[in-house]
Amino acid sequence: MTTQENITSVLVENRIFVPHKNFIEQANLKKEEYERLLLKANTDFEGFWAELAERNVHWFKKWDKVLEWKEPFSKWFIGGKTNVSYNCLDRHLKDKANKTALIWVGENDEKRTITYQELFNEVCKFSNVLLNLGIKDGDRVVIYMPLIPEAVVAMLACTRIGAVHSIVFGGFSQEAILDRVNDAKAKMVITADGGYRRGQAVPLKLNVDNALEKCSSVEKVIVVQRIKNKIDLKSGRDYWYHELINNASLENKACELDSEHPLFILYTSGTTGKPKGILHTTGGYLTWVTQTTKWVFDIKDKDTYWCTADVGWITGHSYVVYGPLSCGATTLLYEGAPNHPDWGRFWKIVEENKVSIFYTAPTAIRAFMKAGSEWVKKYDLSSLRLLGSVGEPINPEAWMWYHKNIGQERCPIVDTWWQTETGGILVSPLPGITTTKPGSATVPLPGIFASVVDENGNSVPSDQGGYMVIKKPWPSMLRTIYGNDERYVQTYWSRTKSAYFTGDGAHKDKDDFFWMLGRVDDVIKVSGHLLSTMEVESALVSHSSVAEAAVVGYPDEIKGEALCAFVVLKQSASDHQSTLSDELKQHVAKQIGPVAKPDQVRFTEVLPKTRSGKIMRRLLRDIASGKQTVGDTTTLEDMSVLEKLRVQDEE
């Protein structure tokens, strides 16, 4: 792509929302302090980060040096000693021992509340269990569990003793376990007899058994009893969690770990080949997730905070467990699906637990839109005071629906942009400071130097699309791809000079607000114009009949690429497919111009998504182009969706 072929940005959004006076007055971060921090980050970069680290983290020993930057490899707070488990538990016991740390809601309406003292006790005992079974500092431990409190205990116990955890989402198959265990050379797997998903039992232990037939590194398996189904326990290898922990000592001192000690490996899907093991370390990661939890979510001692992510995703690591617990907050975990037993499940949980901060994905919001606002109206959501969005760009109409129906036009929305690789939020509104625009993640947080550039690394003018890059290191950034420094350099540092390449397209408007355009892989060249699929999708969803849309390109002899739109209709419009195809094409042309008009509109009941809710557009590209599916599909939630779309294509 030459500098003359930058991404064409076609989405126009003029609605703005100013923070309410009442929210401004009580916000954790005030405008004067925000401006001081921006100035300090610009004039004293290392001093800025040192201030945040000192403010947010308990250090057994202070660092000798803030940053060592040997592009593209960084080390932060060098020589400092800390421990994530200590910061999430021990330091709160003096003032918050009896405060609720975790609220857990099971799929079957079970409920457990666990105080900081109770969580500390369980983590100490399980830390001793791990040590007694031979887990040492630096050993890799794979966690493959339902979203139950024991998963959090396992995470915190690993961090307490210096073991490196790698969580495999409990909905993944045995192939995903196999790949990740072998790549990390894991010494132990912590799992459960099974889990629940929409009323069905998921055979987690059986999946582990099958995967371990091809794994040589695993020595021990610990099994939590969740659904009490019959499983095989291999003598000398497999142990019941409850039996081990009942006999464990309560005394366990958190290890004083180096700031750069490996904390966790989290695998992300690759478009081809094996998944990438993203490596995060201790002190820098903890500094940033703690600070961003305070800033972005305005979290307070009285809040009940609910991020709907599973701990198998980076959002679950950073903003279900480590960020909230480091802040001494009450964090809620829900085991089940958002529509089980019906589409009111989330709102019932909000009402019953008086949730005040709610953080979820745009794909969930669009699903709620499709189901209809009548499900929301059944419940009292008056406890909510702040809403968040995470996972992919949120289209303006979904933002407005969220604002009106869930926030009841009184809750600020923080639309956050970040990645598994970034560790924490990088671009987001600050709820007591930032004027928001539906669909924009607004501006980078203090200390984050983001830019939109062309392929030569030059900044592009306002309202012109380009590559999203980060020009200075930050403490929670990934350190490498586990075991593969070369792939790390090639993937993130070879595209633009002296900048981290995010893989996302973006543009900045005249107010320097960032508008994320999705993955650059999802940019399509139509008749000489590089178009972002996200903007075309936003135009489709703005039609009153459309709940969700995914747009991909396929080869076209005249245009180069043509646009194919896969559309999910709202239930009320499902009987009108025959007349809607042309209507939707014209709607897009009217909204953003004829160049963006889809050549095909295909209707479908569901879209292929990962289990974190992201649409797998590359699979849709294969279908639109008539190709066989290639690359990693272990994260796909429902393989049958692909078959249905292929059958539809053949018809």
pLDDT per position as a tens digit, 224-255: 999 999 999 999 999 999 999 999 999 999 99
pLDDT, tens digit (0-9, with 9 covering 90-100), for 466-498: 899 999 999 999 999 999 999 999 999 998 889
**In this predicted structure, which of 388-392, 417-421, 582-586, 646-650 has the lowest mean pLDDT?**
646-650
d(CA 550, CA 622): 13
pLDDT reading at 306 higher than 60 = yes
Q: pLDDT grade, residue 269 (50/70/90)?
A: low
Is 420 in contact with 268 (CB distance < 8 Å)? yes
Which residue would you say has higher pLDDT here, 131 or 594?
131
- Report the predicted TM-score, pTM, of the whole model to 2 decimal places: 0.84
Task: Give the pLDDT confidence of 402-452 residue by residue, as tens digits.
Answer: 999 999 999 999 999 999 999 999 999 999 999 999 999 999 999 999 999
Range from 272-276, 305-309, 538-542 that averages highest in pLDDT:
305-309
Predicted confidence band of residue 118 (pLDDT cuts 50, 70, 90): very high
Q: Mean pLDDT, to the nearest integer, of 43-48?
A: 98
Return the closest-CA partner of residue 393 out of 505, 257, 560.
505
Per-residue confidence band for 222, with pLDDT thresholds at 50, 70 and 90: very high
Per-residue CA distances from 164 to 44, 207, 423, 453 (Å): 33, 22, 16, 36
> Coil, strand or helix: which one is 540?
helix
Is the model more confident about 572 or about 231? 231
Report the pLDDT value the prediction gives residue 29, as an integer from 0 to 100: 96
**pLDDT category of residue 455 using cuts at 50, 70 and 90:** confident
- More confident site: 630 or 415: 415
Strand 200-202 to strand 195-197: parallel, antiparallel, or no bridges (unpaired)?
Answer: antiparallel
Mean pLDDT of the chain: 90
- With 50 as the cut, is the pLDDT of residue 3 above it? no
Res 651: pLDDT: 43
| Predicted confidence band of residue 143 (pLDDT cuts 50, 70, 90) | very high
| Residue 260 binned pLDDT confidence (cut-offs 50, 70, 90) | very high
Q: Residue range 70-76: average pLDDT?
A: 97
Work out the average pLDDT over 617-646.
65
What percent of the chain stands above pLDDT 70? 90
> Is the pLDDT score of 5 beyond 90?
no
Q: What is the pLDDT of residues 499-534, one digit of tens each?
A: 999 988 898 999 999 998 877 766 665 655 556 677
Statement: residue 575 has pLDDT above 60: yes
Extended beta strands in 122-241, E state? 140-144, 164-167, 188-192, 195-197, 200-202, 220-224, 238-240
The pLDDT value recorded for residue 646 is 59
**Residue 71 in this model has a pLDDT that exceeds 60:** yes
Rounded Cα distance between 460 and 469, Å, is 12
SS3 track for 567-607 = EEECHHHHHHHHHHHHHHHHHHHHHHCHHHCCCEEEECCCC
Residues composing the chain: 651
Domains of the chain are 527-650 (3.30.300.30)
Does 136 score more than 50 pLDDT? Answer: yes
Kind of pairing, strands 100-105 and 81-82?
unpaired
Q: End-to-end alpha-carbon separation of the chain, Å? A: 37
pLDDT confidence bin for 197, thresholds 50/70/90:
confident
User: Can you give the pLDDT at residue 544?
Assistant: 87
pLDDT at 186: 98
Confidence of residue 2 (pLDDT cuts 50, 70, 90): very low
Give the side-chain half-sphere CA count within 13 A for 257.
Answer: 28
Per-residue pLDDT band at 280 (split at 50, 70, 90): very high
pLDDT surpassing 90 at residue 20: yes
Q: How many helices (H) and strands (E) does the chain have?
A: 22, 31
* Per-residue pLDDT at 111 exceeds 80: yes
* Model confidence at 218: pLDDT above 90: yes
Q: Per-residue pLDDT averaged across 255-280, rounded?
A: 86
The percent of residues above 90 in pLDDT, for the chain, comes to 67
**Eight-state DSSP code of residue 322:** I
Q: Is the pLDDT of residue 193 over 50?
A: yes
pLDDT of 4 over the 50 cut: no
pLDDT bracket for residue 194 (50, 70, 90)? very high
pLDDT for res 12: 64
Q: Is 355 left (phi over 0), alpha (psi -120 to 50) or beta?
A: beta
Tokens, residue 343: 């589409």
Give tens-digit pLDDT for 521-571: 666 656 555 566 777 887 888 888 888 898 888 887 666 678 889 998 887
**DSSP secondary structure, 21-74, as one string:** HHHHHH-SS-HHHHHHHHHHHHH-HHHHHHHHHHHH---SB--SEEEEEETTEE
47 confidence band (pLDDT: 50, 70, 90)? very high
